[in-house]
């Protein structure tokens, strides 16, 4: 890491892989090493006595540094490429145009290929010019040049365009992709509650576990959930669900992912299906400008303190506790790429509001010439009310000229077959549209054979100039005889007399039945930015059925705005289930006042990197269609230096017998995980809820605890640099051994990982505080940091009564640290043992060299930098 210049000519500290810390001469101008420049330097400018100046010939010809290995940010034609160690040396043989003493960056053919050089063109050029060694590669290229700024650790390389391979912007060659290190991973999330209601006590617990093992390019994953409920006067209930177990790896040559085990089919053409078998599918995240998968934002309104449970494809995937008013859940870990989310809001009084959040694909478009495919074979994996037939599914999308995309696919299984064909088109400013038709043959559980069609239309458009985003607008129409493979697998279907007999199992006739098959479905998701005033969102869907006029409706409207520093939101929710009488309608208004700006802890003076601890005073209210009104006031905010402790206190009052209610909560996000604790009460009810989440990583260097893991993660290895913060993270610090995990890395992209050097101990130095990693999907990649643990010393060197000559080289006896003498014989070194010897040289003869033994003060008396005067013998 760079250290500030020291007073009195103590010099600048420049890091290098070999541990060299070059103490640059403050009186010597900092010239730039240039591949096209040469210069001479008259040492008499430094002193009238030549004996007081070391041999500085190495600094001539544009060299203001010693040969060696230096950490450098590499830029190619002005574009950042990567950060890596680069060796600089004088080439053994050089053309006449290159000065013999000029240092050259030693870059091999492998590195050039990673930089995006067309190696066929380069090799032809090298053969025509008589070859070149690793430290002379750039010199043989006409119009090529380089410039290394030692102070900024930046190496700029300029090459003619003819040498560069033509690849998409942002493309990173697969050779740079990192499969990571062998490791075992556990991601856990636990929530629980203890409730006393109407004199009865009950407890509820939920645990989800996402565990896995990484070995090379292979990923073994398991996702399981467990729940346990205990209620006074009733039998205990427990359930364990193995949501999925699978092995996966990237097939780079095919730009695909191979999956073996439990997983889900893609959602591009058909509805996503759970299966147990094998699948080979394209992975768009390997593309330079690919679109990322997403999980929908779940919004709703709670009348009081409530428990929110979210399930997908029959499995519970999320559970949390919310306060009265509008809530928003945006951190879901979906188990499939599609499948509507079923949301259940259980109030403290036992009432339950359920609704479905649409979760589907956007228009199907591919770039011209691009192919996307998926092939699946296995056994259907649904819920306990469904059969598990064998099936095969295939799909194909191909980009055509003129913005067109053709796609199709098929499903074949026991008692089921379907074929789909479609076309997509990019209409530019009008947006993107795709339409397809699916023809299906099915035999249902009552033995009837059915045939039908389904037509789907999807539209998406972002109007940046007006701030409008049609994230999804879709419509599907199905004839009476159309059934999906998922529907045809149902064991029990109402209207046939073979409904399920288990009283705890809801009748499966609501959505999938013979009498009321699906007819039409329309869904939309629109957001609108209204200047600086705020934003509006609309989310809605309607599902209609044959032989009935009842529909399944969901509509959510919201407006978020601000007046000066006061934020407010107005939300309306409407939900109607055709199989349950009536509908649920809620409207909510919330106002937030940033009182932290006026509190003593709200702003931190003297620290421009910290905005202080925000705090907000909130007011709000909600009203449902039955006239129940709930008014709320509260305060919430964050504490601690990293804002990783959040708190909230809320008090509410409701009419129609609801009375007073309130809640208080704390949440802490630390380096080893997250904790939360809450308490809420209402008329006749008292509840304590709590939770914990985090990750555990077992690797070759031990066990590291972390915040909740993402799909792809980075392990920081910096032994000796303990309790150091990681940049751009909340609560992530290295542990007592110098290890930390940064969750949620971006796959197939450069991820910058940096340590906060201000938090380093007085005896710790880093050669470089920044690392770049490019992980593959599911990898745990390691970011290594070279840490030197030892003392720092500012030595004044005396030789025969005089200061050691300016510019003399100083090397620790073990070679782990080096620097250059400044004025008055001063030299700065770091990473020093308590005792040792300094090897000092200022010329080629024996009389121009000496040794200086030293002993530093003990740890109890040592300062941040020990100042010592030494005699050099």
Residue range 31-176, CATH number: 3.10.20.410
Each residue of 692-749: pLDDT tens digit? Answer: 999 999 999 999 999 999 999 999 998 888 888 888 888 888 999 989 999 989 898 8
Same topology, domains 31-176 and 790-871? Answer is no
Residue range 790-871, CATH number: 2.60.40.2070
Each residue of 752-768: pLDDT tens digit? Answer: 888 887 777 767 777 77
pLDDT of residue 503: 37
pLDDT of residue 417: 96
Each residue of 605-662: pLDDT tens digit? Answer: 444 334 578 899 999 999 988 888 889 999 999 998 888 899 999 999 888 878 888 9
Number of helices (H) and strands (E), helices first, in the chain? 3, 52
- Lowest-pLDDT range of 107-116, 222-231, 737-746: 107-116
What global pTM score does this model have?
0.69
Distances (CA, A) of 252 to 111, 143, 157, 183, 662: 20, 35, 30, 21, 54
C-alpha 459/C-alpha 359 separation (Å) is: 14
What is the greatest pairwise CA distance in the chain?
A: 110
Distances (CA, A) of 2 to 16, 465, 830: 11, 44, 12
User: What are the residue boundaries of the structural domains of the chain, listed by start?
Assistant: 31-176, 700-788, 790-871
The highest-confidence range among 3-12, 130-139, 689-698, by mean pLDDT, is 689-698
Each residue of 249-278: pLDDT tens digit? Answer: 999 989 899 999 999 999 889 988 999 999
CB 823 within 8 A of CB 27: yes
Q: For residue 280, which phi and psi values (nearest 5 degrees)? A: -120, 115
Query: Which of 801, 800, 821, 799 shows the shortest CA–CA distance to 810?
Result: 821
How many residues appear in the chain? Answer: 873
- Lowest-pLDDT range of 164-168, 289-293, 795-799: 289-293
CATH class (in words) of the domain with range 700-788: mainly beta
C-alpha 69/C-alpha 76 separation (Å) is: 19
């Amino acid at each position: 890491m760079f250290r500030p210049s020291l007073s009195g000519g103590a010099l600048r500290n420049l890091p290098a892989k070999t541990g060299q810390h070059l103490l640059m001469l403050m009186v010597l101008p900092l010239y730039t090493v240039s591949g096209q420049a040469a210069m001479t330097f008259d040492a008499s400018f430094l002193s009238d006595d030549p004996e007081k100046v070391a041999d500085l010939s190495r600094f001539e010809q544009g060299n203001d540094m010693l040969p060696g290995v230096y950490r450098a940010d590499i830029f190619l034609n002005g574009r950042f490429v990567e950060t890596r160690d680069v060796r600089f040396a004088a080439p053994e043989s050089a053309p006449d145009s290159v000065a013999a003493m000029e240092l050259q960056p030693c870059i091999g053919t492998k590195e050039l290929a990673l930089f995006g050089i067309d190696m066929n063109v380069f090799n032809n050029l090298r053969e025509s010019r008589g070859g070149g060694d690793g430290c002379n590669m750039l010199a043989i290229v006409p119009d090529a040049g380089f410039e290394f700024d030692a102070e900024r650790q930046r190496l700029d390389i300029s090459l003619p365009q003819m040498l560069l391979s033509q690849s998409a912007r942002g493309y990173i060659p697969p050779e740079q992709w990192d499969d990571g290190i062998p490791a075992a991973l556990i991601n856990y999330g636990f929530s629980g509650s203890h409730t006393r209601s109407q004199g009865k006590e009950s407890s509820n617990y939920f645990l989800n576990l996402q565990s896995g093992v990484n070995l090379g390019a292979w990923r073994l994953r398991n996702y399981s959930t467990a729940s346990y409920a205990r209620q006074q006067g009733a039998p205990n209930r427990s359930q364990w669900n193995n949501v999925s177990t699978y092995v996966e790896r990237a097939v780079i040559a095919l730009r695909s992912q191979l999956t073996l085990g439990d997983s889900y089919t893609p959602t591009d053409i058909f509805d996503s299906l759970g299966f147990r078998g094998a699948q080979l599918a394209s992975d768009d995240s390997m593309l330079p400008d690919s679109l990322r998968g997403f999980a929908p934002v779940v919004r709703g309104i709670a009348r009081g303190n409530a428990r929110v449970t979210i399930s997908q494809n029959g499995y519970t995937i999320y559970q949390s506790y919310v306060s009265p008013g509008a809530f928003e859940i945006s951190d879901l870990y979906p188990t499939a790429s599609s499948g509507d989310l079923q949301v259940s809001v259980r109030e403290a009084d036992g009432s339950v509001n359920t609704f479905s959040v649409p979760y589907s694909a956007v228009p199907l478009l591919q770039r011209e010439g691009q192919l996307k495919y998926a092939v699946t074979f296995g056994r259907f994996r649904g819920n306990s009310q469904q059969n598990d037939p064998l099936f095969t599914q295939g799909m194909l999308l191909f980009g055509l000229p003129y913005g067109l995309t053709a796609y199709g696919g098929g499903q074949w299984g026991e008692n089921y077959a379907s074929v789909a064909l479609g076309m997509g088109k990019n209409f530019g400013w009008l947006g993107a549209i795709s339409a397809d038709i699916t023809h299906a043959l099915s035999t249902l559980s009552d033995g009837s054979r059915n045939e039908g069609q389904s037509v789907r239309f999807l539209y998406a458009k972002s109007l940046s100039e007006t701030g409008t985003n049609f994230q999804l607008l879709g419509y599907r129409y199905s004839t009476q005889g159309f059934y999906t493979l998922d529907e045809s697998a149902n064991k029990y279907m109402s209207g046939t007399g073979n409904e399920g007999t288990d009283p705890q199992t809801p009748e499966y006739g609501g959505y999938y039945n013979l009498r009321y098959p699906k007819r039409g479905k329309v869904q939309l998701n629109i957001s609108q930015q209204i200047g600086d005033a705020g934003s509006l969102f609309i989310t809605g869907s309607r599902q209609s059925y044959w032989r009935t006029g009842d529909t399944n409706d969901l509509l959510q409207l919201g407006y978020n705005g601000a007046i000066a520093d006061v934020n407010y939101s107005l939300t309306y929710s409407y939900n109607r289930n055709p199989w349950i009488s009536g509908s649920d309608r809620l409207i909510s208004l919330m106002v937030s006042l940033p009182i932290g700006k006026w509190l003593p802890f709200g702003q931190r003076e003297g620290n421009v990197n910290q905005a202080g601890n925000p705090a907000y005073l909130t007011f709000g209210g909600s009203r449902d269609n039955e006239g129940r009104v709930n008014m709320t006031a509260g305060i919430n905010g964050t504490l601690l230096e990293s804002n990783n402790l959040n708190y909230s206190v809320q008090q509410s009052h409701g009419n129609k017998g609801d009375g007073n209610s309130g809640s208080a909560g704390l949440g802490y996000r630390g380096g080893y995980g997250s904790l939360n604790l809450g308490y809420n009460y209402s008329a006749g009810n008292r509840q304590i809820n709590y939770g914990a989440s985090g990750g555990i990583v077992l690797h070759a260097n031990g066990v590291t605890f972390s915040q909740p893991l993402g799909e792809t993660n980075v392990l920081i290895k910096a032994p000796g640099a303990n309790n150091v913060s990681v940049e751009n993270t909340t609560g992530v610090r290295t542990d007592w051994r110098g290890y930390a995990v940064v969750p949620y890395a971006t796959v197939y992209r450069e991820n910058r990982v940096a340590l906060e050097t201000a938090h380093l101990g007085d005896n710790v130095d880093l050669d470089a505080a920044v690392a770049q990693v490019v992980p593959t999907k599911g990898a745990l990649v390691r970011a290594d940091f070279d840490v030197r643990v030892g003392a720092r010393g500012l030595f004044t060197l005396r030789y025969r009564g005089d200061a050691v000559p300016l510019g003399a080289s100083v090397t620790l006896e073990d070679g782990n640290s080096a620097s250059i003498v400044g004025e008055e014989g001063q030299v700065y070194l770091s990473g020093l043992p308590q005792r040792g010897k300094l090897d000092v040289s200022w010329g080629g003869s024996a009389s121009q060299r000496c040794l200086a033994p030293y002993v530093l003060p003990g740890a109890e008396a040592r300062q941040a930098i020990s100042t010592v005067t030494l005699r050099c013998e």
